[in-house]
Amino acid sequence: MWTIFYTIALIASITEAIPRTDVTVSGLSSGGAMTAQLHLVFSSTISGSGILAGPPYYCAQGSSTRVDTCLYGPVTLIPVEKLISQLQSYVSAGTADPTSNLKNDPVYIFSGRFDPVVFPDVVKLNEKIFSSFGTNIKTNYKMRATHGFITDNFGGLCEFPDLEYFINNCSFNLAYDVLNHIFGGNLTKPTKPVPLTGQFVAIEQPAFMNPESINTTDLKNTNIFSYWANWLKTSTTTYKSSFQLRTFKLPDLTGISSIGASGFDKEGYVYYPTNCTKGKKCPIHVALHGCLQGKWRIGDVFAKKTGYLEVAELNNIIILFPQIVATHTDPSNPEGCWDWWGYGSPNYANKLGTQMAGVKKMIDSLRAINAALDA
């Protein structure tokens, strides 16, 4: 009798300890703020997150006049309980998923000690918000870093801002540390150059933000998802001798309308690890660039140089890199930031927000393609 009860309890504890890892997200700076929004609002789909040097959820409360406070503080002017209450009001209205989904979800929070763009005390407020929902939090606040994505092999000097790419070489693999926490602590760590023999694909973001239309579009008498799945399986993808990734474009989806996606660039990127093009079931991780890091300014440097691809290849994780473009009118977003203060939509922090809905629809499209790969 006791053996049966012990076995049931053991199975229950193991099940509870395993994070849901079908879709997760991480991001830097404005991408970090967007990460918090996506995880808190779409918690029935997204099961883990990495918030890197980003302001807390709903900090600006829809007002550009509060942006500076959400970057520099003082934290006494940022009402954490009010921000949590706003999320709960969205849940009640059906524009955010129940917060009960967040319990035990892995969350990683990073801030460099010398960050001059988003002060560390502001970033740390993310911990208060997520801990209130019972998440599994890992923090990284001790690194002598400024404001940028941290790597162990690329970027500017660790303690000085890199104004070209906002990527700093601090001899630390942040992409691995984030993903390893999100995926339960047992990922394989890159210790030498990793042959990237998967598919690095440029995607049409407007098409991927309209999965319903794609799903009804026939190409050569077959569903577009099945067509792309077959294309992934048969395409040659890299120069294996030099490990230099070639960028392949998704088969033409011309004519498929967008959802009126405010601020999105025309193209984004997806990396499919080798095994994930051959029928292996792979989780999806969404990696969000920061301000001034989009394709419009630095091309594919954020996607290829931050370390995500090597970790993804070794551990069979599909990485989606959505892209925001700089705009100067309607909306005004001259630095190409993700919308965390309401420049593009008054609903920027719930399911009705244009960028929130756009990323969610790209996730839905990738999940449908995964189903086609498994078929």
Closest Cα to residue 179, out of 14, 26, 15, 44? 26
Q: Is the pLDDT of residue 13 over 70?
A: no
What are the percentages of helix, strand and coil residues in the chain, rounded to 5? 35, 15, 45
Burial level of 82, CB count in 10 A (0-12/13-18/19+)?
exposed
**Whole-number pLDDT of residue 6:** 39
**Whole-number pLDDT of residue 216:** 52
**Whole-number pLDDT of residue 20:** 54
Mean pLDDT check: name the lowest of 28-37, 85-94, 182-191, 195-204. 195-204
Per-residue pLDDT reduced to its tens digit, 48-68: 999 999 999 999 999 999 999
Q: Is the pLDDT of residue 236 over 80?
A: no
Average pLDDT, the chain: 87
Pairing of strands 167-169, 247-249: unpaired
pLDDT bin (cut points 50, 70, 90) of residue 297 is very high
**Whole-number pLDDT of residue 334:** 95
Q: Is the CB of residue 272 less than 8 Å from the CB of residue 308? A: no
Q: Token pair for residue 222?
A: 């077959």
> Alpha-carbon distance 3 to 6, whole Å?
5
Phi/psi at 50 (5° precision): -130, 110
Closest Cα to residue 78, out of 96, 57, 64? 57
Alpha-helical segments (H) within 108-164 = 120-123, 125-131
**Whole-number pLDDT of residue 151:** 98
**Whole-number pLDDT of residue 204:** 87
- Provide the 3-class DSSP secondary structure of residue 212: helix
pLDDT bin (cut points 50, 70, 90) of residue 33 is very high
Integer angstrom CA distances of residue 301 from 173, 204, 269, 306, 368:
16, 18, 11, 8, 27
Mean pLDDT, residues 281-308: 97
Per-residue pLDDT reduced to its tens digit, 334-345: 999 999 999 999
> Alpha-carbon distance 55 to 187, whole Å?
28
Q: Is the pLDDT of residue 244 over 80?
A: no
Task: Scan for tokens 């095994």, then name that residue.
Answer: 275
Rg for the chain, CA atoms, rounded: 20
DSSP string computed for 250-284 = PSP-TT------TTB-SEEEEEE-GGGGTT----E
**Whole-number pLDDT of residue 214:** 53
pLDDT bin (cut points 50, 70, 90) of residue 255 is very low
